[in-house]
Amino acid sequence: MDLIIDEAPLAPLTTLRIGGPAKRLWTVETEPEFVAAVEQLDRDGTPFFVLAGGSNVVVADEGFDGVVLHPVFEGADHQRRDDGSVAIEATAGAVWDLLVEALVDAGLSGVECLAGIPGSVGATPIQNVGAYGQEVAQTIEAVRVYNRDSKQVEELAGDRCGFGYRSSRLKGDASLIVLGVRFLLEQSPLSAPIAYRELAEKLGVAVGERADSADARAAVLELRGSKGMVLDEHDHDTWSAGSFFTNPLLDGGQFAVLEERVAEHCGGESRAPRFDAPDGKLKTSAAWLIEQAGFAKGDSRGQVGLSSKHTLALTNLGGATAAELIAFAHEIATRVEELFAVELRPEPALLGLEW
């Protein structure tokens, strides 16, 4: 049964615990109710926003002058394929970390390094969620969506989702509402090949080797916890939207300018982190740039701070406002661009806010 609340606080529904109320909060408990709600809002011309786990969003202090749809329907079915792989059909409202835990416990491999990431299943393809060398794009076979243009439920094959670094076709297309995701996983007690050096070292394997999936998941949770990236209501370091900035993707010319600026501002021995990325791009570290620009873990402005464990996380120290958070984020991004000619872009969705 649907639940509708007027002037509903949104801050408690987000991991940042920031933001004003929605004109109306509409909680839906089944997929048909969700589709029906979207259809009704479109017919009425009512602006709406889908808020599930609230882990990757910053809500304006003024709130949202429209309807916030809050899907809470959960569930996941599996089907074994003839080649031994297993297809997992997960609903948009399912809690992502609980799904990862269940899949690892069931001996399924491919998402174990994505443990501890807050939020819902439905958000994962939009952002192409990734961590410790894995991305959901590697295991997504298809995404089930409601197409607001055709007014039909459709299936979008993974290769049509336009997955990129923390992005997808879904992220920029408001006409497609995620209803569920089908993941294709390997039946194996071993993880996918470990691609992230820090994780490989913790597990005692070489990069490219496999480890026990349960061990990989446990190691990821420990690493994330050490960086304040596992939710804990008693630890303000975890009151964040995760990494606030994406790691910049640069072309060769832009990276050359970065190297010149680093030599000028950081000394001849310093080198900007450099990682190969698709389409000939080079990825560098936003956290490194932030630190080289003079910001340190634990720095704060009012009730907003950088996590004491991880400079990429902007945290709510208690009573923070969205205006404070965005102002501090702009201060950081402006300083990085002034020094290194690199633009930092926010990773979370901004509801009622401009960047």
Per-residue confidence (pLDDT) for residue 1, from 0 to 100: 57
The pLDDT, as a whole number, for residue 278 is 87
Q: Quick check: 269 pLDDT over 90?
A: no
Render pLDDT for 6-27 as a digit per residue (tens, 0 to 9). 999 999 999 999 999 999 999 9
Q: In terms of domains, do 346 and 282 share one?
A: yes
If DSSP codes are grouped into helix, strand and coil, which group holds residue 146? Answer: strand
Cα separation, 190 vs 159, whole angstroms: 26
Same domain assignment for residues 67 and 84: no
Residue 232, pLDDT above cutoff 90: no
Q: Tell whether 20 is covered by a domain.
A: yes
In this predicted structure, the answer to whether residue 114 has a pLDDT above a threshold of 90 is yes
* Contact by Cβ (8 Å): 181, 100: no
Does pLDDT of 129 surpass 90? yes
Tokens found for residue 313: 């996380």
Of 31, 46, 71, the domain-final residue:
71
Confidence of residue 234 (pLDDT cuts 50, 70, 90): confident
Residues 7, 100 within the same domain: no
- Partners of 140 in beta bridges: 183
Q: What percent of the chain has pLDDT over 90?
A: 92
In this structure, the answer to whether residues 274 and 188 fall within a common structural domain is no
Verify that 242 and 176 share a domain, yes or no: no
Among candidate residues 120, 243, 307, 324, the one labeled active-site is: 243
Look-up of token digits 């900035």: 245
Q: Is residue 55 over pLDDT 80?
A: yes
Q: Which of 17, 24, 144, 166 is an active site residue?
A: 166
* Six-digit token string for 244: 């606030």
Residues 313 and 204 in one domain: no
Global confidence as pTM: 0.90
**101 located within any domain:** yes
Residue 118 lies in a domain: yes
Chain mean pLDDT for the chain: 95
Q: Are the CB atoms for 76 and 91 separated by under 8 Å?
A: yes
Q: Are residues 210 and 242 in the same domain?
A: no
CATH number for the domain that contains residue 251: 3.90.78.10
> How far is the C-alpha of 332 from the C-alpha of 328, rounded, in Å?
6
How confident is the model over 210-226, as a mean pLDDT? 97
Strand partners, 130: 135
211 falls within a domain: yes
Which among 165, 199, 226 is the end of a domain?
226
Geometric angle at alpha carbon 19, from 349 and 148, rounded to 5°: 45
The CATH number of whichever domain residue 37 belongs to comes to 3.30.43.10
Looking at the fold, whether 199 and 301 belong to one and the same domain comes out as no
Instruction: Say if 324 falls within a structural domain.
Output: yes
Q: Which is higher by pLDDT, 3 or 341?
A: 341
Instruction: Note whether residue 127 is domain-resident.
Output: yes
With a pLDDT cut of 70, the percent of the chain lying above it is 99
Which of 108, 26, 14 lies closest to 54 in space, CA to CA?
14
Q: Number of structural domains, the chain? A: 3
Average pLDDT over residues 37-62: 96
pLDDT at residue 233 tops 90: no
pLDDT of 268 strictly over 80: no
Q: Which of 56, 71, 86 is the last residue of a domain?
A: 71
Whether 210 sits among the annotated catalytic residues: the reply is no
- Domain that residue 134 falls in: 76-226
In the structure, what pLDDT confidence band is assigned to residue 243 with cuts at 50, 70 and 90?
very high
| Residue 309, pLDDT score | 93
For position 131, what pLDDT does the model report?
95
Q: Are residues 283 and 330 in the same domain?
A: yes
pLDDT of residue 153: 97
Same domain, residue pair 166 and 277: no
pLDDT for the residue numbered 231: 84
Instruction: Give the active site residue among 112, 135, 324, 347.
Output: 347
Amino acid at 155: E
Active site (annotated) includes residue 347: yes
Listing DSSP states for 260-302 in one string gives HHHHHHH-TT-----EE-GGG-EE--HHHHHHHTT--TT-EET
At position 14, the amino acid (one-letter code) is T
